Amino acid sequence: MPGPSVPTGCSITEAVTILGNKLRDYQGQLNTTHLLAQCDYFHNTFIRHYKLYQYVLGQDQDVKLTVTHLEVYVPPQPLPLAAGKDQAVWKHEQRVVELSAAEVQKRAYMLQLKEALQLEQQRLLQEMLPELPRWQHQVLKREELENLISEAIHIQIECLKELLQYEIQITFDILDLKLQKKTLNLNAPTPSPLPVTGQSGQDEALNLYKANKGRKAKAKKM
């Protein structure tokens, strides 16, 4: 099968000639270094792939336009300076919130674990007594009854042992979170004082400056 026909147009020699004429026209506006840079750029891009450009740009263009509406979220309105928080205080509060959330999550996990182990215990007991309805109208032998009771007690003990191990671990985790919160509260950062603004604040600062200056003058006289 014959390949796609290449659209006719200027040959590569003609394209190089046109480029040279254009660069010659700008000799009065660009120095030799800039002209050489322009020549190298067109040679390494357009001239090198001239046939590809000629084939693509010489075809009938089928323009496909895709419009996507993007929702732009503007940043939130900042709080006034009087309602702002010191950065260290804000980080401290965020850390306390994280520790509190982790503690709540641990407690919720403990409740879920208790429910899961109770269901597992019920399942094991039901598997142990598959024929219990058939035995309701029969008299069990003492040995059979002792075996059933012993196995049921063993299942309950194993489930309680597993639950106790999980509860101990989770309790230690919760105590560690509480200790971290206690340590954070003991080392809570002190908020920085807000800058003095307004006429009253400026007057107060000026009076303080004058008082300090007067004390220094008295100290020199003494």
- Token pair of 39 as six digits: 């020549």
Contact criterion met (CB below 8 Å) for 5 and 54: no
Give me the residue label for tokens 């996990």: 109
Does residue 57 surpass a pLDDT of 80? no
Residue 6: the pLDDT is 43
Residues 6+ apart with CB under 8 A from 103: 174, 177, 178
Identity of residue 47: I
Residue 104: the pLDDT is 92
- Token pair of 157 as six digits: 């003990």
pLDDT category, 5, cuts 50, 70, 90?
A: very low
Rounded to 10°, the helix 142-186/87-128 angle is 180
Domain limits, the chain: 12-58, 85-190
Residue 219: the pLDDT is 52
What mean pLDDT do residues 171-200 have? Answer: 77
**CA distances from residue 181 to 35, 97, 100, 108, 192 in whole angstroms, order as listed:** 69, 9, 8, 19, 22
What would you report as the CA-atom Rg of the chain, rounded to the nearest whole angstrom? 43
Does residue 221 surpass a pLDDT of 60? no
Return the higher-pLDDT residue of 217 and 64.
64
What mean pLDDT do residues 80-106 have? Answer: 86
Return the higher-pLDDT residue of 174 and 141.
174
What mean pLDDT do residues 90-105 have? Answer: 90
Q: Above pLDDT 70, what percent of the chain? A: 73
pLDDT in tens, 16-47: 888 888 888 888 888 888 888 988 998 888 88
Does residue 220 surpass a pLDDT of 50? yes
Residue 4: the pLDDT is 43
DSSP secondary structure letter of residue 131: T
What is the DSSP secondary-structure string of 157-183? HHHHHHHHHHHHHHHHHHHHHHHHHHH
Phi and psi, residue 139, nearest 5°: -95, 120
